Amino acid sequence: MANERVVENYLERQAVERDYDSNVWHYAFDEEMQRWVATEGGQRRSIPWIEQRGDRSQITLKPLPSQKHLRNSDGLDIRHLVLDEIKSALRLRLGERFARYSYQVLPGGWSSIDITRAVSKASAVDHYLARHNLEPEDAMYIGNEFFRGGNDQPLLDKFERIRAIAVNQQAEEIPSAPNLDWGGDRGELSAEYHLTEVLQRYAKAIVAARVSPQHLPVPVIRALHLDAFDTKIREQRKFHDLLVTPNGPEQFALRRKIICLQDELLREILDRREPAKG
């Protein structure tokens, strides 16, 4: 009941702190402008956080004040409470048709919620890779909501070979995914750090290619991806050693598994290098 009251307050804009948005918005769709508009202080203006795109495959709602979604005395993420309320309302309104949207109602930002039809950040990345003729391992994705129900999570479900970096999340919140790395919890500063690393490596790769053009370096993003895997392997081995008895059966089983994987990789490499027969 307490959570329901919190949701009702936020939906009705009655939960007010000193620095909360104080305006109450009244949304309407202007057919002539083809935009959502709101009336504020007697002025009618377009509002950017509610959009209809293309064939109306996406609607973005902004039910919360900007960047205040965590400000609640109980430490609750109000956005997810409102998200549950919106899903319940859609399920009641759409009936069986809600199945089309059940996995497409996601947080879209600090204070917004997206209702889409087969549109997500994963589909945007898929489109970008295809348009630029790139493989997933040629790309790096930075996000801050890699949890079940977060708007970055669909990327992990769709791409196994892309490198994803979580910023603005605590390390313990990062799910165990092979292609996801914790990149710090400072948001934009953490993202800037990783982007700067890409640019620095790229500058060095250009110099290396000029000095020795016959030995081109590994593409920068792929090299970073490989380094991230190596780091994760080392860290997981250390953690594994802390959890199991030294020289116990688990240690032997792990090492045998690693040897088998290395043997399999070597066989694949040697097979590719064998000269064609005949």
Residue 56 burial (CB count, 10 A): 9
Least confident of 2-6, 40-44, 70-74: 2-6
Which one-letter amino acid corresponds to residue 98? F
Q: How far apart are CA 20 and CA 28, in angstroms?
A: 23
Question: Residue 145: what pLDDT?
Answer: 84
Q: How far is CA 230 from CA 237, 265, 268, in A?
A: 11, 16, 20
Encode pLDDT of 142-177 as tens digits.
Answer: 998 887 777 888 888 889 889 999 998 777 777 678
Relative to beta strand 163-166, strand 180-182 is parallel
Q: How confident is the model at residue 139 (pLDDT cuts 50, 70, 90)?
A: very high
Does 141 have pLDDT greater than 80? yes
- C-alpha pair distances (Å), 221 with each of 138, 199, 202, 234: 6, 10, 9, 20
List of residues 6+ apart from 149 with CB closer than 8 A: 80, 83, 106, 107
d(CA 251, CA 244): 7
Cα–chain center distance at 196: 20
Paired tokens of 121 = 């950040």
Q: Judge whether residue 234 has pLDDT over 70.
A: yes
The owner of tokens 């109980």 is 74
Q: Distance between CA atoms of 82 and 62, rounded to whole angstroms?
A: 10
Burial class from Cβ neighbours inside 10 Å (0-12, 13-18, 19+) for residue 80 reads middle
pLDDT per residue as tens digits for the range 235-263: 888 888 888 777 788 888 888 998 999 99
Beta strands in the chain (DSSP E): 27-30, 35-40, 43-46, 58-61, 105-107, 113-116, 140-143, 163-166, 180-182
| Mean pLDDT score of the chain | 76
From 106, 78, 101, select the one nearest 90 (Cα to Cα): 101
pLDDT in tens, 13-65: 443 333 334 344 456 677 777 777 777 667 777 765 554 443 445 677 776 66
Tokens of 275: 């000269």
- Domain coordinates of the chain in residue numbers? 2-119, 123-243, 244-278
**Count of residues making up the chain:** 278
Residue 5's pLDDT band (boundaries 50, 70, 90)?
A: low
Question: Within 13 Å, how many C-alpha atoms sit on residue 106's CB side?
Answer: 22
Q: Which residue has the tokens 């590994």?
A: 218
Digit-coded pLDDT (tens) for 83-131: 888 888 888 888 888 877 766 787 776 667 777 766 778 888 998 899 8
Residue 196 has a pLDDT of 94
